[in-house]
Amino acid sequence: MGLIGSIVGGGLSAAGAIFGGISASKAMKKAKRNVEAQRKKNQDWYDQRYNEDATQRADAQRILTQTEESIKQRNRAAAGSAAVMGGTDESVAAAKAANNEALADATAQIAANADARKDSIEATYLQNDNAYVEQLNAIEQGKAQAVSQAVQGVANAGASIAGAF
């Protein structure tokens, strides 16, 4: 009965090692799919945010609209002052030029902020992507360990069966 018990025990040990390896492999495949899905979402987020037109964002549109309204008011005020006080067309033109420069400055500021925003988006994307790569590497290492443990379990079971003879 000792020989049969050793054989059965070794067979169960081998089956357990194989089953454990298969279960670990399935769990790691699922984890890998989840990380890859998150990595894809990160890429999609990056593609959308990095490539959007900064001047079309709501905050930029608000600044531009406010600046344009302010310019219109100042242009009307300059034209009204010139009419009442007898100003020249050149003074009105100079006021309009200064106001147009204010709009150009606002647009330039939006562009500068957009560059800083893109840098921030890129840094966030790279940080997240590196974390996903590390997770994928850890999964691959886990798979290798699970295979090694399954093989070791089978080898140990084989050795115990062989030792029974």
* One-letter-per-residue 3-state SS of 50-96: HHCCHHHCHHHHHHHHHHHHHHHHHHHHHHHHHHHHCCCHHHHHHHH
Q: Output the CA–CA distances (angstroms, integers) from residue 114 to 43, 128, 136, in the order listed.
A: 19, 21, 32
pLDDT tens profile 85-115:
766 777 778 888 888 888 888 888 888 888 8
pLDDT for position 89: 74
Low-confidence residues of the chain: pLDDT under 70: 1-21, 86-87, 147, 150-165
pLDDT for position 46: 95
pLDDT tens profile 72-82:
888 788 777 77
Q: Output the CA–CA distances (angstroms, integers) from residue 30 to 18, 25, 76, 88, 132, in the order listed.
A: 19, 9, 66, 77, 14
Q: Output the CA–CA distances (angstroms, integers) from residue 126 to 46, 54, 88, 108, 122, in the order listed.
A: 9, 21, 57, 27, 6
Label residues 74-85 b or e (16+ Cβ within 10 Å = b).
ebeebbeebeee
Place of tokens 């939006």: 110
pLDDT for position 154: 58
Residue positions counted in the chain: 165
Reported pTM: 0.57
